Amino acid sequence: MKSFEIPPFYRSTFIGRIKSLRKDSDPRKKDFTPTTLDFGPVRFHLGRHFGFCYGVENAIEIAYNTIEGNPGKRIFMLSQMIHNPTVNQDLQDRGLSFIQDTEGNQLADWDDIDSNDIVIIPAFGTTLETETLLRSKGITTEKYNTTCPFVEKVWKMANKLGDQDHTILIHGKFTHEETRATFSHSMAKSQSIVLKDINEARLLGEIILGERPINEFQKHFNGRYSADFDPLIHFEKIGVINQTTMLASETHEMAEYFKSVMEEKFGAEKIKDHFADTRDTLCYATNDNQQSTYALLDLEADLALVVGGYNSSNTSHIKELCDTKFNSYFINGSGEIMDSNTIHHYNYDRKEHLISTFFLPKKPIVDIVLTSGASCPDSVVEAVMDKILSFYPTAKTKEELFSTLG
C-alpha cells in the first residue's frame, strides 16, 4: 500500500516500532490479537489496528502540500478534513480556513470566495450541489480533492444499484459530512433514504409490509429521503449501503432484516428480483479497527481508553464496543487526564462532556485497553500512554519495555 508524507509530529516512534513488529510477524493482517505492553505496575493492551488510515494520510499529505506550495494564496477546506482537533487546529494555525462546520453550517460566506482561492475537498467527500457551486465560481478541485477512495467506492455501488432501479437505503448519520455526500450522489441515481440504526430499519420494514400506516413514513423520515419519494411504489427493489465508519454488525443486521422483509412481501423464491445483496460498504480500516476491538473484548482489563476527536463516528463505534465489556472513556487526548484520579471524557450519543473520578483502580497491577479511531495521530495515543505512565514511578521505561519485545 502507498506510503504518505505526513508531518513527523503526527507520528510516534514508539508506537511505530510496535506496529512494524506486528506487520513483520503478520503481513497479511490475519491476527487480530492485541499487543500487550507490560510496564510492571501498569499493562497496556493495544488494538492490533488503530490510528491513521489510508484515506486520512492521503488527505493530510494533500492538505499540507497545498499549504506549502501556495504561499500567499487563500486556502479553504469545505469542512473539517478529518474529525480530529489536533489536525484541524494545526491546519488553521497554518492559515487554512473552513467554509462549513461539521453540521453543514456556514462559517465563510460563499460570496467572498472566488476563482483566485483554493478549496480542498475533505476526506468525507462532498455533495454534487457543492461541486456544482464550486464549478460555477471557476474553482477547480481535482488537484485538491482528498475524498477517500473507499467513500468513492460506496458511490460506485450506489450508481450500480441505481442503474438496476433499486431504491437505496443508506445506513448512516444524516448530519455527518460523508453521509450527506453519499446521499447526494445516491439520489442522483435513484430514490434514496438515510436510516440511522436497526430501530429505524424495523420501523421502515413495518411500513413496507403495511403493518404501519403509510403516513408514518413522512412523520419519521421527513428530510431524509429524496424528492418525489413515494413509499407506495419505491420499495419494490432495495439495496443497502452504509457510511464507511458505521458499526459493521449493525449494517449486517439491517441488511439481513430487509432481506427478510422482502422475502415476506414477495416470496423467498423471488428475493433476487427485489433485494440486492451488497454486503457492507465499510472501508478496510473501519473493519480492521472494529475486528481488533472485538479481539480486545476477549481480555480482562480494568478500563479502556478510546482516543479520538469527539465528532469522530468511527471512534464512537469503537467506544460503543468497548462499553460492552469495560469501564470505557472516550477522550481526545492526554489533556483530558487531569491526574491519577480525575478524567474528562465524552458521551458521543448525548453530546455531553463528563468528569469521572477514581478512574484508575488502586491495585498492584492495572490493565488498560488503549486504542484509537482512524483519524487519531499515533503521537496523541503515545501522549496518553505517557500521561498514565507518569502516575507509576516504578514503571519500566519504553526503551526497557521495547527491548523485551519481538
Residues with catalytic function:
178
Buried b (16+ CB within 10 A) or exposed e, 391-405: eeeebbebeebbeee
Measured CA to CA, the distance from residue 309 to residue 315 in angstroms comes to 8
Separation in Å, CA 231 to CA 31, 205, 218, 321, 326: 45, 11, 9, 34, 42
Q: Which helix (H) or strand (E) holds 134?
A: helix 128-136
C-beta of residue 292 within 8 angstroms of C-beta of residue 32: yes
Secondary structure of the chain: what % helix, strand, coil (to 5)?
Answer: 40, 15, 40
Measured CA to CA, the distance from residue 357 to residue 282 in angstroms comes to 36
In this structure, what C-alpha cell is assigned to residue 261? Answer: 422483509
Q: Which residue is listed with cell 506510503?
A: 3
CA angle 180, 241, 158 (to 5 degrees): 75
Q: Which residue is listed with cell 448519520?
A: 173
Separation in Å, CA 105 to CA 80, 89, 110, 137, 236: 12, 18, 12, 20, 36
In this structure, what C-alpha cell is assigned to residue 256? Answer: 439481513
Separation in Å, CA 199 to CA 136, 204, 250, 263: 41, 9, 10, 19
Eight-class DSSP state of 81: S
Measured CA to CA, the distance from residue 228 to residue 33 in angstroms comes to 49
Measured CA to CA, the distance from residue 70 to residue 63 in angstroms comes to 11
C-beta of residue 357 within 8 angstroms of C-beta of residue 307: no
